[in-house]
Every structure is written in C-alpha cells, then in structure tokens.
Structure 1
Amino acid sequence: MKFAALLIAAVATPGALADFWISYVNQEIERNQGKRIVEGGYITNGPPSTCDDLTSYHVWPNSGDVSADKTGMRTVPVNPVDPPLYRDPLDITEINTGDAGPGHFTVYKDRGGAMVDLNGKLLGTCGEDRSKTFDTTCDIDRYPARIQGSSMYFCTTGLQAGSKD
C-alpha cells in the first residue's frame, strides 16, 4: 500500500515530471573497414521515428554488468529475439548512463514498472510499450547504417533524457 501511494504521488506531482521513451536499437554501420554493429538501450524524449531521432542520442550498449562506473544497459532475462524487439521479455531493465542523463536506474516488471535508483528510491514509473518499431537506413558519420529496433518503455519521471553530446 505504501508503494502504491508513493507511485500515485510521484505521478500526480504537476510540473515535476518528464516523459521519455526507452527503446532498443540495433545500428549496422557500413564503413570502409567493414560492418560495425552498435546495439543497446536508447533513451529519447519522444519515440524514435526519423533518422534525426535515431542518430541524435547515445546508444547504451548491452552489458552483463552496469554497476559502479560501467555504463550500458542490462536486461533480465538475457533473451535475444528476432528484430525488431531484440529483447523479450523485459522483466528487469537496468541502465547506467554515468554522468549523462538520466543516470543509473532499474525498471522492474514485477513492481508495476517501478523505476528505482540504487538506493531503492522510486524515481517514476515505466509502462512496457513495444508498439513503436523501426527499420530504416540513415547516415551515421557519413556512412550508411541500417537501424532496426522497437520501443521498450514509456516512462514518467522527474529525470531527463540525455542527448548524444
């Protein structure tokens, strides 16, 4: 009951919340030296749909350990599936963006999508949303890249999505 009251209070606080999307992105970049693949979590202010959206933010790479100063995204279970989802189910998703926004947090499916920090403090809530998929070709650093993926969560929190720079 205490958790539900905190969640309602966090969501109902006007003006303090920022909405952002967490997506899974796979970028296959054709370079002179061969193909380079970058895949992982992608945190944006809106669901990515254009080349600008898909190349303007940092990809937080898959990792088995995102503790301390190790940045990236960890999913539990680690269950690779075919594109565009790449990861399913999403029981636990931990992301560490280091000093970049939004920081280090974990989303728990079994807690109703609660987003919590390392101390267990409720930061917001994330609803699983796999409805936004993408499969397109864009230029990354003047090289053609096939970009595939899908949305994972829509989050409401006081945190802000960080940009690539």
Structure 2
Amino acid sequence: MTLLSLLLNLLWIVTGGLWMAAGWAIAGIVLAITIIGLPWARAAFSIAIYTLLPFGYRVVPREQVTGRHDIGTGPLGVIGNLLWLLVAGWWLALGHVLTALALAITIIGIPFAWAHLKLAGLALWPIGRAVVPAEDADAARRWPPVAYR
C-alpha cells in the first residue's frame, strides 16, 4: 500500500468507512447465522474489508479475474443478486447514499462521497464481483485474464 493510499484510507475510516464496514459485517453475521445465507455472508465479509480500506483496491467482474464463468457470474448469480437486493442490498446502499449526502456538503468530503456512491452500486449487486489490488485491476482487464488465488 502506498503512502497516499494509507493516508486516504485513514481519512476514509473517519468519513464513514468504519460505520459502513460495520454495516457490511453485521449483514454478513446475520446471513451466516441463517446458514442458507452463507454464500452471501462470504461476499459481505470480503466487501466489509474492502469498505474499511478501499483505496489501493478495485472491484472488477470475477470472470475477468478468473477467465471463466462460474456460478456467481451466470444466471444463478443474477438470482443471487436479486435475493441479496431484497434481503440486505437496499439498506446497505441506502447507508452509503446517506453517508455520501452528508459528506458532499463539504468540498473535502466530495471525493469520499463519490466513493460511497460507488460502494452503493456494489451494495445493490455484489455477487460475481472480485476485489483485487489496484495494480492488478488493469491486468484483470487484459487478455488472457490473470488467475488469482
């Protein structure tokens, strides 16, 4: 992590990152308790970590990372995303939007508000996405795709 990413992540934690990461973690815990929600819980926990420290990482379609379609990038992923949207996605997105509105009042908060709005979009449709380091995100867009483990 570069010094700039570290500084931005520290500012991010103060400007709503900690609050929203806790929301993602709570969603993951609730989904894990239900047992049926375990696939969504895993996604919620990985996005909670991304929400806590987003600078230096990017979200890309998982098929660009692995080079192949899987259960989360096909029709079952769409169904999973629709279920996610109904159960947890809308209120996590609402939390990001409300935080973004509060941050957009100040000039310093505008870049962080924009980041919250991008996370609101991810909150609505997270299945089939992967969080990768920013320097690897460009490699994930190239052909052939790079496989991560």
- TM-score relative to the length of structure 1: 0.24
Report which of the two has the higher share of helix. Answer: 2
